[in-house]
Chain A
Amino acid sequence: MRRLPPPSLPALCVLLALPISLTAADSRPLSFVNDVVPILTKAGCNSGACHAKAVIGQRGFRLSLLGFEPQEDYEHIVKEARGRRVFPPAPEQSLLLLKGANQVPHGGGEKLTPGSENYQTLVRWIGQGMPYQAAGQPALAGLEVEPKRLAMKMGTTQSLRVTARYDNGTTRDVTHLALYEANAPEMAEVGESGQVKTKDLPGNVAVMVRYGGKVSVFSISIPLGAPVDKLPPAKNFIDELVFANLKAIGVPPSAPCDDATFLRRASLDIAGRLPTLEETQAFLASNAPDKREQAIETLLASPDYADAFANKWTALLKNKREDAADITANFAFHSWVRDGMLANKPYDEMVRQILAATGTIVANPAVAWYKRVKEPNAQLEDVAQLFLGVRMQCAQCHHHPFERWSQDDYYSMAAFFSQVGRKPTAIAGEDLIFHKRGVAQIENKRTRAMVKPAGLGQGAQEIAPDDDPRLRLADWMADTSNPFFAKALVNRYWKHFFKRGLVEPEDDLRDTNPPTNPELLDALAAHFVQSGFDLKELVRTLTRSQTYQLSSVPNEHNLVDVQNFSRFYPKRMQAEVLLDALDSFAGSKSEFADLPPGTRAIALPDNSYNSASLFLKVFGRPESASVCECERAQSSSLAQSLHLMNSAEVKGKIAVAGGRADRLSKPGVTAEAAVEELYLAAFSRQPDAEERRIATAHLASPDARKQAFEDLVWALLNTKEFLYNH
């Protein structure tokens, strides 16, 4: 349950009454670390686009990103360029200030206002002889933002107060020096000095507060405040937690969806295809009280489930055709993943088999991952993002700006992959992967120190030279107490079914990007761990929930809801699914090289088919180049509309001999029966009276009958009801 304190004046008064210590007294000895770097950070001097630009800085003046390496910055400001950047006899004539205040031409414009408090601090620091950090000066120990959590109405404001806590027990108000960023800027924005303003969307949003390399979070709950008196019955713990949140923010959920919508939705999400005509008719006719649960079981048991999820995973695992000779390895790896899905191999086991793969592609297809992801850096980055939901890329070159991860954390993870051995095999391009005996360690490229393997946030492991460190990594990941592994997966799957992750982006789990419903993410992760990392059980739990089965049609209140799952958010079908749906509706077939006729797009083993299929390309089938699902373009485009409306490919499918339009236009089928079949095939539902009337009227038009049917097929497949899973 979410419990948030109501916004109350007394709380504010308490805040304002806090003692303010360490204010700028002119006599206080300043330190570069505590006083100067934060000013440079706040002014944006050390942002990635300015002087912290990788390797080169800007115009010969280089700072570390966000001041994470103060010692280097000190060198560059005080000693580099023959010390001309600072001039203690006349501090205001220092180049640092002249440039910063744009008094001599500065590409970045005026970043410091002469006379401002920050400007004066720099003047005094230079005047004091540019002390770095005197012995005994306090070091920053932590950061506190107040309030921490608050329910804020739409369109209201709230001032934050940020306090830096030092290791000698002193504190300092750094509200004006901290950096602020909301994780959902469409819901709340934050001004330069911590003024939070909510907009007109209900839900939960987090404001990340950064200062001196420390981060803190202010969580806002923005209620809509509508009455939530009628809730559909909860079917499992998902519903209890989703509905509790909806009650808390006052967003009433939509009604449960009808049977037709459910069947179409679940078939597309679980099996990546439309229901067949027969399935639809049987489902609609059934009176079994548990027919939805039954349908879920049937879909989960079908090979189509394995096709759909093998398609999802092989793209993320970079099963990419770069050379014609890759075909063997790619087919083998795809089959391996698909077999695992079919047999419902526990997720932790699948990941372990990939991470610790040894042998050849023929004997053990899981080694294919090591063919695509070759270097320890890439291996750790992919593993962290894909399996742990942690983006470590930033930490290769600098401390992660939004995170606690340092370069040591980065290289410690990489060290797990330091003993991966390769040997060429008889098959060109395919290496034998093995464990190279030796002590697992890798060099931190900045400090040049060797680091031992360590899981994120864990101590270094001593691993015997005979032990494969990758097994230790897999052990740590699959340990039931691992804070990332299960959460990352359930969040990824939640997004698959609900369009939006509980954390967005789905592979960016961090303290400063909290879930919109933390209790739900925890409960899902716990359930997944308890089930023995059972993927089918997870899908079952998600799709059985009332939340998944809510209608996408908004009620009078919840159209504005975009993150609380008060209704089902319609999703455009993915490229492969749409192509298959089109074929199944039009009664046509697509053909793919080297694959038996009738192979569906969802069952394609790798990305190589994209180049031959304009359809897959235009609708954004990924090239398996990234571990991020965002590689799959889900946005619509002009080219897509043109393709659906007027491409020779789609027109050909609609008009294909023996296809649905052709068949229904033959004598012997009544217009009424034909329209009914079209609706069942496209939308898994019966047409209503108005639709029957419009459609049959069109079929009765003087145009040739086959052409009239083609028109109707065209019109139905171009509807949003067809293109979307809703």
Chain B
Amino acid sequence: MQIGLTGFASLGWPGLLKLRAENALKPASERTAVIMVWLPGGLSHIDSYDPKPEIGSEYRGPFKTISTKVPGTIFTELLPRHAAIADKFTLLRSMNQKAGGHPAGSMQMLSGDADERDKPKPRLPDWMSVANYLRAQDGPRANPLPNYVGVNPPLEYNGPAYLGNAWSPFSVTDDPNRPNFAVPNIGLTDPAETRRLGDRVALRKNLDRLERAFDRENELLALDEFERQAMTLLTNPQTRDAFDIGKEDAKTRDRYGRNRWGQQLLLARRLVEAGVDIVTSSLSGPLCGRVNNWDDHAVNHHIFEALRFRMGNYDQAVTALIEDIYARGLDKRVLVVVTGEFGRTPKISFDRSTGAGDASAPAGTVQPGRDHWPRAFSNIWAGGGLQTGGVIGATDKRGEDVIERPCGPGDFLATIYHHLGIDSSKVTINDFNGRPTPIVDQGKPIPELIA
């Protein structure tokens, strides 16, 4: 199958050859994978992974700190399960970027676009689409599952941009915790329907006469290949199984948490285990509180109530994923990274609520909040063959600025690409104007976060 290369987007030729050569050496079973857990709106770093117990109450917040399995590293009390397995991931406290708005902040982190201004659509493709596209250049996939699946993926401020929709995720947007959860367009459950689709495809093949006019660019062949993949997705028990979270035993499901987030991350693990290379999952919706995301301005949420409301599920789901990755021996192949687009202002602000709801007092009530803070925030990294248990970087005494090992979006992206076997310093992709655009403009894999 030769898709993509003949079109508007093409790899720099040397980059492509190198990539092919490198990937050709690896058997499919060793193809590395990434699960990115996305916290849309931005987690307050000072209330979670980067507490500042010494600072005044106008910054500190109400949460006590707890010690963790890694001596010298403390979290807030909202993360007891993280504390218990702190040796199984690496905490990066020195992430920072330059954009204060959700769109531009998300674009900085996901696509490396340095533009600080918000714009409605991304200019550059996100790393997931890029990785999906680059992986597809290796040749046809033996595995019936798609390369890139979004389990309630972030879709708002990211996307494939000039790569085109073909490189978007196969998306699951339903709640996997729902009792009769099933992925639409996957695994027809009714045998009669499966048979009928099979009959229809057979009839189609009998009647299709354009086969003879195969063009040299194999466009029609690609179409056949996609029909075959679609048919597999629709009818192959293996793909149905991969999405069938009901096949997990009850204990495992309990361990992740019987809620949307827990089951999303369980499904993510199930998918990488079945051979999906790129999985993103956004922890959003009612489990966040009134406004369905992590954007804890005082007008939206009482931030501390919001964190109490949501962090139990978060703590449980993320740590279950990390432990499970290790327990199942996926820790070399699969990199898990958890981040939002920025942190939140260390200094607490007060404002009137704009409405009552989960974690928000009735409209007009003054409540505490924190605003956008791209200057310093945390993300966590697990699996990926990493030496875990460390902390990289540090922020100042108020958690306002990075004072040690500053890392930016380019470093973030280069680290993920590195795990996927993509040398981001060498690969460029042509944009709409035919300009070769580097997939990472500035930045290098973070040495402690590469195996």
Which residues from chain A sit less than 8 Å from chain B, CB to CB? 48-49, 53-54, 56, 107, 185-186, 201, 322, 385, 391, 393-394, 505, 508, 552-554, 559-562, 569-570, 572, 617-618, 620, 623, 625-626, 628, 630-631, 633-642, 645-647, 691, 694-695, 698, 711-712, 714-716, 718-721, 723-724, 726
Closest-by-CB residue of B relative to A54 is B441
In angstroms, Cα B216 to Cα A626, docked, is 29
Contact indicator A185/B13 (Cβ below 8 Å): yes
Q: Give me 27 A-to-B residue pairs in the complex whose CB atoms sit less than 8 angstroms apart, sorted by A's number.
A: A49-B12, A49-B425, A186-B6, A385-B433, A505-B8, A554-B213, A560-B216, A562-B215, A569-B215, A618-B165, A620-B166, A628-B8, A633-B166, A634-B7, A636-B3, A638-B146, A638-B166, A639-B168, A641-B223, A641-B227, A642-B230, A645-B197, A646-B230, A711-B203, A715-B206, A719-B209, A720-B208
Closest-by-CB residue of B relative to A571 is B219
Given contacts A570-B213, A715-B203, A719-B210, contact A645 B231 (CB under 8 A): yes
Contact indicator B208/A635 (Cβ below 8 Å): no
Instruction: Give the shortest distance, in Å, between B300 (CB) and chain A (any CB).
Output: 23
Contact indicator A508/B203 (Cβ below 8 Å): no
Is B64 among interface residues, defined by CB-CB distance under 8 A? no
In angstroms, Cα B100 to Cα A694, docked, is 63
Contact indicator A572/B204 (Cβ below 8 Å): no
Q: Which residues of B contact A724 (CB under 8 A)?
A: 210, 220
Given contacts A48-B436, A641-B227, contact A620 B165 (CB under 8 A): yes
For residues 114 through 157 of chain B, which have their beta carbon under 8 Å from a beta carbon of chain A? 120-121, 146
Contact indicator B215/A570 (Cβ below 8 Å): yes
Contact indicator B432/A630 (Cβ below 8 Å): yes
For residues 225 through 244 of chain B, which have their beta carbon under 8 Å from a beta carbon of chain A? 226-227, 229-231, 233-234
Is B263 among interface residues, defined by CB-CB distance under 8 A? no
Contact of B219 (CB < 8 Å), options: A322, A572, A628:
A572
Contact of B200 (CB < 8 Å), options: A617, A711, A720:
A711
Closest-by-CB residue of B relative to A631 is B432
Given contacts A626-B432, A694-B207, contact A552 B213 (CB under 8 A): yes
In angstroms, Cα B24 to Cα A506, docked, is 34
Instruction: Give the shortest distance, in Å, between A714 (CB) and chain B (any CB).
Output: 5
Q: Which residues of A contact B32 (CB under 8 A)?
A: none
Q: Point out which of A54, A394, A618, A720 has the most chain B C-beta atoms below 10 A from its C-beta.
A: A720
Closest-by-CB residue of B relative to A561 is B216
Contact indicator B13/A636 (Cβ below 8 Å): no
Closest-by-CB residue of A relative to B167 is A637
Contact of B185 (CB < 8 Å), options: A107, A642, A721:
A642
Give 9 new A-B contacts, CB below 8 A, not counting A570-B219, A635-B166: A49-B438, A56-B442, A569-B215, A630-B162, A642-B185, A642-B234, A694-B207, A711-B203, A714-B200
Q: Which residues of A contact B12 (CB under 8 A)?
A: 49
Instruction: Give the shortest distance, in Å, between A189 (CB) and chain B (any CB).
Output: 9
Contact indicator A620/B438 (Cβ below 8 Å): no
Given contacts A385-B433, A698-B203, contact A639 B216 (CB under 8 A): no
Q: Which residues of B contact A201 (CB under 8 A)?
A: 216
Is B217 among interface residues, defined by CB-CB distance under 8 A? yes
Q: Which residues of B contact A633 (CB under 8 A)?
A: 7, 164-166
Q: Which residues of B contact A641 (CB under 8 A)?
A: 223, 226-227, 229-230
Given contacts A393-B433, A620-B165, contact A638 B230 (CB under 8 A): yes
Contact indicator A628/B222 (Cβ below 8 Å): no
Instruction: Give the shortest distance, in Å, between B441 (CB) and chain A (any CB).
Output: 7
Q: Which residues of B contact A49 (CB under 8 A)?
A: 12, 425-426, 428, 436, 438
Contact indicator B197/A726 (Cβ below 8 Å): no
Contact of A721 (CB < 8 Å), options: B120, B199, B210:
B210
Given contacts A201-B216, A385-B433, contact A647 B185 (CB under 8 A): yes
Contact of A645 (CB < 8 Å), options: B212, B217, B230, B432:
B230
In angstroms, Cα B7 to Cα A505, docked, is 10
Instruction: Give the shortest distance, in Å, between A59 (CB) and chain B (any CB).
Output: 10
Closest-by-CB residue of B relative to A694 is B206
Is B434 among interface residues, defined by CB-CB distance under 8 A? yes
Contact indicator A646/B121 (Cβ below 8 Å): no
Instruction: Give the shortest distance, in Å, between B174 (CB) and chain A (any CB).
Output: 14
Instruction: Give the shortest distance, in Å, between B359 (CB) and chain A (any CB).
Output: 30
Contact of B435 (CB < 8 Å), options: A53, A393, A694:
A393
Contact indicator B166/A553 (Cβ below 8 Å): no
In angstroms, Cα B210 to Cα A720, docked, is 6
In angstroms, Cα B221 to Cα A720, docked, is 10
In angstroms, Cα B63 to Cα A151, docked, is 78
Contact indicator B223/A720 (Cβ below 8 Å): yes
In angstroms, Cα B233 to Cα A625, docked, is 33
Instruction: Give the shortest distance, in Å, between B20 (CB) and chain A (any CB).
Output: 14
Contact indicator B164/A636 (Cβ below 8 Å): no
Is B389 among interface residues, defined by CB-CB distance under 8 A? no
For residues 183 through 207 of chain B, which have their beta carbon under 8 Å from a beta carbon of chain A? 185, 188, 196-197, 199-201, 203-204, 206-207
Contact indicator A391/B434 (Cβ below 8 Å): yes
Contact of B216 (CB < 8 Å), options: A505, A559, A625:
A559
Q: Which residues of A contact B285 (CB under 8 A)?
A: none
Closest-by-CB residue of B relative to A634 is B7
Q: Which residues of A contact B219 (CB under 8 A)?
A: 570, 572, 635-636
Contact indicator B209/A570 (Cβ below 8 Å): no
Given contacts A49-B438, A711-B196, A723-B223, contact A391 B234 (CB under 8 A): no
Contact indicator A630/B230 (Cβ below 8 Å): no
Is B80 among interface residues, defined by CB-CB distance under 8 A? no
Given contacts A107-B425, A562-B217, A711-B203, contact A635 B210 (CB under 8 A): no
Closest-by-CB residue of A relative to B233 is A642
Q: Which residues of B contact A554 (CB under 8 A)?
A: 212-213
Contact indicator A636/B166 (Cβ below 8 Å): yes
Is B170 among interface residues, defined by CB-CB distance under 8 A? yes
Q: Which residues of A contact B201 (CB under 8 A)?
A: 645, 715, 718
**B400-436 vs A, Cβ < 8 Å mask (1 yes, 0 no):** 0000000000000000000000000110100011111
Q: Which residues of A contact B226 (CB under 8 A)?
A: 636-638, 640-641
Q: Which residues of A contact B7 (CB under 8 A)?
A: 630, 633-635
Given contacts A633-B165, A636-B166, contact A53 B442 (CB under 8 A): yes
In angstroms, Cα B8 to Cα A391, docked, is 15
Q: Point out which of A508, A553, A562, A636 has the most chain B C-beta atoms below 10 A from its C-beta.
A: A636
Contact indicator A562/B441 (Cβ below 8 Å): no
Q: Point out which of A56, A647, A726 has the most chain B C-beta atoms below 10 A from its C-beta.
A: A726
Q: Which residues of B contact A714 (CB under 8 A)?
A: 200, 204
Closest-by-CB residue of A relative to B163 is A633
Contact indicator A635/B3 (Cβ below 8 Å): yes
Given contacts A505-B8, A570-B213, A638-B226, contact A645 B234 (CB under 8 A): yes
Is B211 among interface residues, defined by CB-CB distance under 8 A? yes
In angstroms, Cα B442 to Cα A184, docked, is 30
In angstroms, Cα B421 to Cα A135, docked, is 51
Contact indicator B166/A394 (Cβ below 8 Å): no
Instruction: Give the shortest distance, in Å, between B183 (CB) and chain A (any CB).
Output: 11
